[in-house]
């Protein structure tokens, strides 16, 4: 991994004037480190607690170095290149640019001085994943931690609503409540569905999601998407299912979709995609029931001037057959 390409990411994009930079805890890196010892008046406990003190000292040491690696401006962890001013105050690359190349602590010009000592110290650190509080047990070297956290199974999920660029993240129960309360998404219980989609002018396609419905079955939640979008020069309609959970869990389920009319029908059967995959990624991979406009209008009947599609489907859980080892569908009733 190219360490020079990894930078601290700040939540603010704008430039900040020197006087406006919030300074949380300035860090000073000197060429020599001094240490001091606190006298211990309780001599009777020295031998009994020496091993405990060693462990506590190690924890405090790691914590102190980790604090040194926090940018004093944005408080995010710093990754190479870590900059410092002539007085030894450190700052991350992102905040250095926002601070007009002025040290936010002493207001001296930063220049291009790298804090190579602190970068080297970081290489020796092993830190727990930041999602440890929600269940991740992993510990990683400092420079591998960021990469793991970007794909950690315990990281929060993004809102699966596709009608807008929603930035809300959270766990599944929170996102279900968010979809219901903020996006006004229809919620249904059961593993079968029968939806009718009507559009008065099927020639107008604006790459917008028509409908998102959430189904609760087998104690899990699934998102049913149905939308219109341009495929080349022709509009198409697509229905697909996403699982509100991780990819490995999604593989335990299957679903089928069916659309038809005038004595004809199209069917689709597959595995729901995890909401870890973005809505656009699933849609652009055509992983679902895709209906061309001419076929959709044929299914609609009448004079083919109004789109009327009925999409039916069901969700089931694959179960292992203890006799033959093959998977057997467990249908929701």
From CA 116, how far away is CA 1, in angstroms rounded?
17
Tell me whether residue 52 is in a domain: no
Q: What is the pLDDT of residue 51?
A: 41
Question: The tokens of 134 are what?
Answer: 């929600």
Question: What average pLDDT does the chain have?
Answer: 77
Going by their DSSP bridges, the two strands 157-158 and 169-170 should be labelled as antiparallel
Q: Model-level pTM greater than 0.75? A: no
Tell me whether residue 51 is in a domain: no
From CA 91, how far away is CA 75, in angstroms rounded?
10
322, pLDDT greater than 90: no
When divided into structural domains, the chain yields a total of: 2
Tell me whether residue 53 is in a domain: no
Indicate which CATH number applies to the domain containing 265: 2.60.210.10
| Same domain? 69 vs 183 | no
Q: Is the CB of residue 104 less than 8 Å from the CB of residue 72?
A: yes
DSSP 297: H
| Same domain? 253 vs 298 | yes
Task: Look at the chain and count its residues.
Answer: 333
Tell me whether residue 14 is in a domain: no
36, pLDDT greater than 50: no
Q: What is the pLDDT of residue 227?
A: 83
| Same domain? 122 vs 226 | no
| Same domain? 84 vs 178 | no
Report the percent of the chain where pLDDT is more than 90.
Answer: 29
Indicate which CATH number applies to the domain containing 85: 3.30.40.10
Higher-scoring residue by pLDDT: 184, 332: 184
Residue pLDDT, tens place only, 278-308: 888 998 899 999 988 888 888 887 666 677 8
Report the percent of the chain where pLDDT is more than 70.
Answer: 72
| Same domain? 173 vs 98 | no
237, pLDDT greater than 80: yes
Going by pLDDT thresholds of 50, 70 and 90, the confidence category of residue 332 is low
Structural domain harbouring 231: 157-317
| Same domain? 204 vs 256 | yes
Q: What is the pLDDT of residue 205?
A: 56
Tell me whether residue 18 is in a domain: no
Q: What is the pLDDT of residue 203?
A: 60
Higher-scoring residue by pLDDT: 55, 255: 255
| Same domain? 288 vs 185 | yes
């Amino acid at each position: 991994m190219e360490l020079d390409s990894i930078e601290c990411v700040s939540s603010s994009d704008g430039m900040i004037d020197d006087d406006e930079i919030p300074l949380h805890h300035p860090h000073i890196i000197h060429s020599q480190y001094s240490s001091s010892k606190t006298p211990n008046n309780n001599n009777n406990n020295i031998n009994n607690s020496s091993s405990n003190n060693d462990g506590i000292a190690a924890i405090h040491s790691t914590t102190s170095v980790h604090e040194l690696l926090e940018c004093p401006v944005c408080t995010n962890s710093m990754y190479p290149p870590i900059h410092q001013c002539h007085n030894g105050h450190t700052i991350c690359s992102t905040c250095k640019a926002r601070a007009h190349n002025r040290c936010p602590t002493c207001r001296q010009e930063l220049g291009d001085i790298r804090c190579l000592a602190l970068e080297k110290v970081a290489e020796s650190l092993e830190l727990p994943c930041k999602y440890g509080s929600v269940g991740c047990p992993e510990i990683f070297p400092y420079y591998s931690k960021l990469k793991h956290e970007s794909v950690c199974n315990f990281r929060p999920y993004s809102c699966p609503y596709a009608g807008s660029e929603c930035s809300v993240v959270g766990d599944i129960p929170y996102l279900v409540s968010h979809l219901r309360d903020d996006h006004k998404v229809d919620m249904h219980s059961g593993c079968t569905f029968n939806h009718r989609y009507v559009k008065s002018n099927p020639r107008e396609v604006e790459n917008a999601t028509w409908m998102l419905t959430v189904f609760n079955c087998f104690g899990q939640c699934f998102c049913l998407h149905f939308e219109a979008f341009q495929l080349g020069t022709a509009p198409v309609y697509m229905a697909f299912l996403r699982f509100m959970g991780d990819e490995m869990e999604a593989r335990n389920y299957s679903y089928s979709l069916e659309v038809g009319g005038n004595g004809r029908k199209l069917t689709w059967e597959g595995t729901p995609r995890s909401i870890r995959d973005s809505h656009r990624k699933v849609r652009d991979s055509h992983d679902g029931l895709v209906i061309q406009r001419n076929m959709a209008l044929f299914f609609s009947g009448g004079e083919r001037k109004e789109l009327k599609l009925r999409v039916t489907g069901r969700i089931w859980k694959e179960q292992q057959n203890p006799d033959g080892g093959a998977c057997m569908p467990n249908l929701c009733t």
